[in-house]
Amino acid sequence: MSSELGDLPTERINPRTRNLDQLPSADLLAAINREDAGVAKAVESEIPNIAKALDAIYEHFSRGGRLIYIGAGTSGRLGVLDAVEMPPTFGIDPERVIAVIAGGRDAMFRSSEGTEDLGQSGREDLASVGLAADDSVVGLAASGRTPYVIGGLRYASELGALTVAVTTNPKGAIVAEAKIAIAPDVGPEVIAGSTRMKSGTAQKLVLNMLSTGLMVKMGHVEGNLMVNVQPTNDKLRARASRLVMHLAECDQARASEALKKTGDVREAVRAIREE
């Protein structure tokens, strides 16, 4: 196991940050920033695969399937983070984009890293949410070898669901387990093995692209405006009001009045236009 892990890109010692513990604060932060600067470029090289995954997910989602993230540790938490943002931002049913994480709900707030070694748990967690053939399962594993994620992807494949792998190890075992693989090569981490850093950033960028792209294709965005935003707090109500003012070309008072009656940006704009 030790030699296997040592071969992973994320476990290698980064020659550019060998003296990290000897640097003054500004230089330490600059070193981290220089490494981060290459992450977006690595993700850019994977756009053809991200686009392929997006189109396939959209096809399944349009048939009523769900988008389901599965991961452990940092990767799993990033999946949860992306999923929970979809309803308030795009107004979709919370059950349409969901995430399962090794160790369950508690693992979101407290480290439960041992659970990632249980491949059977990945299968069981997907079964517990009623995985079906029209669903899309996105497996997240920076190392590309997490048994929990591999077990989940194998189960998804058995059911005929779409499988997508997101990893920062292009040669990881997870690549062979998915129909589509997205594998930006970010190189060794600032701190060897700390995949919460560059690998986590790369995964977050990929998830942003997949979920935002899906919502755009599903019609939840007009131009570049989140017209399905749910006005559930003061900030979101103010945003919704500004959207109505912009789209209906009206003043704030009229926009606020229409929103109070409809509770929905699109409906408020339609009501004003029909006056």
By annotation, the residues acting in catalysis are 85, 116
3-state SS, residue 225: strand
Of 210, 240, 241, 246, the residue nearest 228 (C-alpha): 240
Q: State the Cα angle at 81 between 207 and 150, rounded to 5°.
A: 65
Nearest to 135 by CA among 120, 156, 119, 155: 156
Q: Amino acid letter at 78?
A: L
What are the start-end ranges of the H helices in the chain?
2-6, 25-37, 39-44, 47-62, 73-90, 119-128, 147-159, 173-177, 198-217, 234-248, 252-262, 265-273
